[in-house]
Amino acid sequence: MILAFVADHATVLFSDSEKLVSHTHEVQTTLARLRTRMFQAQAARLDYVLTGNDQALALVDSAKRGLTGALDHLHSLTADNTSQSERLHALEPLLAERLALLDESVSLHKSNPQAQGRQIEITDVGRHLTQRISDQLDEMTSEEDRLLTERRSHSARTFERVRTVLAAAFGTVLLILAMDFRRLNIELGLTAAEELLEIIMRRYERASTMITSNRPVEDWGKLLGDSAAVTAMLDRLLHHGHFLKCGPRSWRTKTGLPPQQAAG
């Protein structure tokens, strides 16, 4: 019972450690997606300003939605990590400012496509903001890399503990089964003479019974583990019975030999 509890507890710990590793991978993936969406939005905005292509404008909107969604998901993923939550809160106003610049650039191009001076200013300010955002994302990514290394190591140690506990539990179960099997053998050995005596008593003076053995009669008491029962059984067997003793050569072997060899 104790081993079962320990094995279950170790398995739960390993499952929890693997969940933490999976969680860290998800945070890393979301951080990468947020960075990608930001660069996609910037590239699509520049394409729209230079070409006026409506498809580029649609890409801007799509990238902005993806960026916002990644940011919301990061909030839920890092809610239990104080340091990452603080970094994310510091990142939010930078992203909001960067999105505001994107919106200003798009609106300006729609109202005044010739306002190149302000577009250049927006590009310069946006480049500076993008660098600050990237630095913040790099910090968060580095923290997740550290957590991933730590959690993988902890998961590996937990896995080894689980293997050790399960091996011990398996060995204990085998030992218990072996002990039970030995106990049953002993119990069967203790009752074998009594059960055989009961069979002989039921057949005594009612039916013919033939018993063969390659062990001397004097060894039966030790062999069956109950001399008294064996004595009572032999008393009934030998009463009205015939005792045939074969030689050291096997009767089956003797009868299977050619006549001249069997006679020798």
CATH architecture of 2-172: Up-down Bundle (1.20)
Task: Kindly report the number of other CB atoms within 10 A of residue 47's CB atom.
Answer: 16
Domains of the chain, by residue range, sit at 2-172
Identity of the residue numbered 57: L
Give the relative orientation of helices 227-238 and 116-203 as an angle to the nearest 10 degrees.
50
What is the pTM assigned to this prediction?
0.60
User: What DSSP string runs through 115-180?
Assistant: -HHHHHHHHHHHHHHHHHHHHHHHHHHHHHHHHHHHHHHHHHHHHHHHHHHHHHHHHHHHHHHHHH
Give the separation between CA 186 and CA 253, rounded to whole angstroms.
34
Residue tagged 């045939």 (tokens): 244
Full pLDDT tens readout for the chain, 264 residues = 565 665 666 676 667 778 888 999 999 999 999 999 999 999 999 999 888 888 998 999 999 999 999 999 999 999 989 999 999 999 999 999 999 999 999 999 989 988 889 989 999 999 999 999 999 999 999 999 998 998 888 888 887 877 787 787 778 888 888 888 777 766 655 577 777 778 888 887 788 888 887 778 788 777 777 788 778 878 887 777 777 777 666 666 666 556 555 444
